[in-house]
Every structure is written in structure tokens, then in C-alpha cells.
Structure 1
Amino acid sequence: MNPLRMTIENMRLGGHRGHSAGAPENTLAAFRKAFEYAGPLATCETDLSITSDGELILMHDKTVDRTTDGHGVVQKMTYSELSKLDAGSWFSDEFAGERVPRLREALQLARELGIIYQVELKIYDQNEVFFPKLRAIIDDLVCADLMQFSSFDYVQLKAVKEAIPEVPTVGLMHSRLIDPAAIARQANLDAMNIEVYHFASGEARQLHEEGFAAFTYLPAGYHEKLMQYGVDIESQVIQWVREGQLDQLLGDDVAQVTRLRDEARG
């Protein structure tokens, strides 16, 4: 039984880097905001990196420059250095003092609220470092039920499933694939995330027919931009939900994806 296959009644909703439309991405504030809109089992996509002294932290970029008041390469900074940075003021004064979270702290919040993290593995050449640290945190916090692993690197996803088999895995797709289910099977995945730009091409149906879950992500402003030209992406998403094609829908704006799910349910 695939743990990521859902129905219109229980499909998962959540935020890309948390509710990144309304809070600084990949912070506890953004994860809390996602929960406010999507409720229990809200899924927060987030990005896993590592400091020079081996702390697993959540940050998308290779440097801290864009999303903090500091400068430098994440992997060349200690956690002590990173923990002093302000990760909220760049977004708005409301979030001044927000910190770069450690994975452990985020998982503790997940247990408290009942949310889930889709943790994207951003570093592809340090499995021998990452995997034991992930294994230790999962064993310590007993939190495999609060996680998914995702990556564009299917070789890495196959390896992490072998190392930590109880956490579901999600393959990220940038482009269309001739046979996504075959790749999902080879990599021992549970789901594939299909880009919204070509979701209508039929990959979701093929994945479902072969037992895999189908996810997509709605970027902030994408619908609004296309609506200027008469293209209604929101109506398309609602139709996909009604047809049972989507097991999980994430967005930068969690209020938006929650509204679309509710409209699809009628």
C-alpha cells in the first residue's frame, strides 16, 4: 500500500518552503503559517543542507546572502555562525529575528502541530555524511511519519530509501519523461512531482495506474500572470483534483491551494 496515494477527501495540501508567500521561506514562521491555512497534515516542502560542523539545517541556496542578513557559503559556516543570522528581516520587519532552523527543531515543531516535511536533499555527494545523521535524528525523535524525502537525483533517492526505508520518497521532475512510472519503479519511489506547466500531459494517470502518487506545485503569481491572457490555471487544478489525479498539492501560497481544494470538493 502506497502511503502517499490519496483521494479527494484526504489529499495533502501544503507550502513550498512553508507558506513562502506570506513568511520568510524555510523558517519555523513559514511552517506555522502553512499549518494555519492547511491544518493538520499540512505538508511543508523544505530544503536540507549542512554546516561545516555537521549540523543539518534548512536552507535552499548554497549561500546565506539572499535569505539572511549575512554573507557566505552555508557549507563553509559553522552552525554557531549561522544561528546568529536574521533570516526574517529580508522578507518584512514582522519577521525580524527569525532564525535559520535546524532540521531537528523543525521536526519537533512538526510533532507539536501535526505537519509533515517534504525534505529536498540539496547536496548530492555526501550521502555517507547525510544518511547516518538523518537516521540518528529519525531514531531519536521517532519521526519517520513526519517526513518525505525528495530530490531531482533519482540515484540518491534510491540510496536513501535503502538506508531509511520507512520514509517515503518523491522524485522531482523538471521535464516530461517518456515513462515516469518505470523510473519511479527503478528508483523505488512512492511519488513523482510533476511540473504544473505540463501536468495535463497524462503522467499522473500513468503513475496512478502503476501504484505511484502524483504531486504538483503551483508557484505564486503563475495563475495571475496567465489569467491576463485568458488562461485559467486555477480551474485546471480544480478539475485535476475532482478527477482524483492529485495526491498532494503544494503552493507558495497555502491559502490559495486550500481554496482550490475546497472548491473542487464543492
Structure 2
Amino acid sequence: MFDLLPSRSGRILVCGHRGHVIDGHENSRPAFRRAGELGASLCEIDLHMTRDGRLVVFHDDILDNTSTGTGLISQLDYAQIAQFRTKSRNGMPIEGQPIELFEDALTFCRDLGLGLIVEIKDKFEGTAYLEQVVGLLKKAGMFERVLISSFDYVVLRDIKRVAPGIRTMGINYHRLVDPAAAARSASMDIMNTDYPQFAPDLAEGLHAANIGVSHFVPRPEFFALRRGYGVDYLDMFDAYLRAGLIDMLVCDDVGWGVDFVTGRGLAVARLEPVK
């Protein structure tokens, strides 16, 4: 089970958002493989359930934007979805990949030595969905190498009840009045705050409650453009890292993320090999 508070020992987890995606792939084997080659600790993936109850790794609820198919995933059987291939969100020419079943992505990333953040995207009633997720994690030997994430904090609370010992991450877009209270309400182990809502007091409050701090930042070119207008968030981000306020960096460009972390004199936290 990997450390979710590595900032206390001068280390930080680097997570590839949907894998390493700047080459055009997302949520696919090339994205995961390249993330591992560039030094990622983990990859973030997204889950949706098909009409016949299979879990697939795909970000959108529809196939139209990043695959050769069309339609809602929830209205199609997996056999239909399996005929389609991925395509780049931004039109970059890439070789299409199969839309991965969750169990296959788990095995692939396990063998690469990567941990995973598994974001549950669907809305559902009851616990059968969560029980299926947990069962597949255990079958793949990935239960201790995964964080379950969601914007829905009820989901995070409920999966802890289904599987005590599983670790979770809440996704947060806001400047919270009491972030630790929000985290405790869902029994989460780490909270992610997206740019630009991150603030030192948010991180300090979470760390005081022994809760890890994750931060998603956009691609480097986003900051480069703003730097030309006299605003340099990366200077502040540098200070946050050096102050030990962040335990995990989530980014699209894993190579950039690893270089940014190591350039601050910090080490990228590595997961122990699967035995």
C-alpha cells in the first residue's frame, strides 16, 4: 500500500491524467505505457458501465468525441463497443486502440508497476456497481494499488462501507471553507483540488487532519501563454512543492510533471513492485 503523504519525506506522487495524453491517446494502453516510461507513479482512468453490465475505461458518457463509435455507453452492450477504436480528442493522428475493459486495464497497469486512480463517473443506485469494482480490483491484485475517486462524495462514503480498507480521493473544484470536514464526511484519504482553486490554507488544513493533498494542473502551454501577460502560476506552484504542501501532482504531460518535481529537488514517489 503506497504512501499518500509522501510530502513528509520530500517525495511526491506523479499521476498521468488518463495516462500520458499529450500524444493524443487517453485511457488506453499506449497512454499508460508511455506514462510508466516517463516515470509516473500512477495513472488516472475513468469508468463507465455498458448496458450489459461491463465496466469500460472511457472518459465521456458518449462515444462520439474520442472513438470511432457513437451513442451513449449505457445504451450499448460491450460487444458493440468492442468494435470501435479510440481517436484523439484534438484531432491528432493516432493509431486507434481498443476501448479497454476495466479488468484488462487493471492487469496491464499492474504489470507495468503503475498504481491507478479509478474515477467512477456513473450515477447508480444500490451497491452492486461498487461491489463489482471492488471484486475486479481484488481479482487483479490491485486493491492496495488503487485510489477510488469521484466528484460524488456519497460514492466515496459508500465504497468504504462496501470495502473497508479501500482508499479514496475526492475531486474538488472549489475553495472550501473547511476542506478537512468535507474530506471526513466521506472518509476520504486524499483530496484533489484543480487549478486554480488550490490554496496553501486548504493544503494545511488537510495535512493537519492527516489527509493527503493532490493538485491537478493544466498543460505547460496553458501557463506559458499567461506568463506572457505577467502571471506565472508555476512560480507559486514551485513554492507550494518546496513547502511540502502537495503529495500528488496530476497532469496530462507526465514528462513535464516528473521534470518539474525533480527540478525542485524532490523525488518522485515510486510504488513497490507487485509480488
Give TM-score scaled by structure 1 length.
Answer: 0.93
> 1:22 maps to which residue?
23
Deviation at 1:142, TM superposition (A): 2.1
1:1-266 residue pairs with structure 2 within 5 A? 3-7=3-7, 9-39=10-40, 42-88=41-87, 91-93=91-93, 95-220=94-219, 221-265=221-265
Paired residue secondary structure (1:197): coil
Deviation at 1:3, TM superposition (A): 4.0
1:198-257 Cα deviation digits (max 9, x unpaired): 213520011001111000011123312321212222222222111111100010111111
Structure 2 residue ranges without an equivalent (≥5): 267-275
Q: Distance in 1 between matches of 2:118 and 2:224?
A: 28
Residue pair 2:49, 2:55 contacting (<8 A) in 1 also? yes
Residue pair 1:62, 1:73 contacting (<8 A) in 2 also? yes
Larger displacement relative to structure 2 (55-64 or 124-133): 124-133
Paired residue secondary structure (1:160): helix
What is the letter of the counterpart of residue 236 of structure 1?
A: M
> 2:271 maps to which residue?
none
Q: Distance in 1 between matches of 2:31 and 2:71?
A: 23
1:118-153 Cα deviation digits (max 9, x unpaired): 111101224433112112212222211221011111
Q: Distance in 2 between matches of 1:127 and 1:58?
A: 21
Larger displacement relative to structure 2 (103-112 or 2-11): 2-11
Structure 1 residue ranges without an equivalent (≥5): none
Residue pair 1:3, 1:190 contacting (<8 A) in 2 also? no
Q: Distance in 1 between matches of 2:150 and 2:199?
A: 22
What is the letter of the counterpart of residue 149 of structure 2?
A: S
Specify whether residues 232 and 15 from structure 1 end up closer, same or farther in structure 2 by C-alpha distance, changes over 3 A only: same
Q: Which has the higher helix share?
A: 1
What is the letter of the counterpart of residue 152 of structure 2?
A: D
Residue pair 1:43, 1:250 contacting (<8 A) in 2 also? no
Residue pair 2:39, 2:254 contacting (<8 A) in 1 also? yes
Paired residue secondary structure (1:264): coil
What is the letter of the counterpart of residue 144 of structure 1?
A: F
Deviation at 1:89, TM superposition (A): 5.9
Larger displacement relative to structure 2 (146-155 or 159-168): 159-168
Paired residue secondary structure (1:62): coil
Deviation at 1:10, TM superposition (A): 3.1
Specify whether residues 263 and 89 from structure 1 end up closer, same or farther in structure 2 by C-alpha distance, changes over 3 A only: closer
Identical aligned residues as a percent? 30
Residue pair 1:107, 1:146 contacting (<8 A) in 2 also? no
What is the letter of the counterpart of residue 20 of structure 1?
A: V
Q: Distance in 2 between matches of 1:195 and 1:187?
A: 19
Q: Distance in 2 between matches of 1:76 and 1:129?
A: 18
Residue pair 2:45, 2:118 contacting (<8 A) in 1 also? yes
Paired residue secondary structure (2:180): helix
Paired residue secondary structure (1:150): strand
What is the letter of the counterpart of residue 189 of structure 1?
A: M
Q: Distance in 2 between matches of 1:124 and 1:225?
A: 37
1:174-220 Cα deviation digits (max 9, x unpaired): 11111010111121110111122021352001100111100001112
Residue pair 2:173, 2:197 contacting (<8 A) in 1 also? no
Residue pair 2:2, 2:145 contacting (<8 A) in 1 also? no
Give TM-score scaled by structure 2 length.
Answer: 0.90
Specify whether residues 3 and 47 from structure 1 end up closer, same or farther in structure 2 by C-alpha distance, changes over 3 A only: same
Larger displacement relative to structure 2 (127-136 or 57-66): 127-136
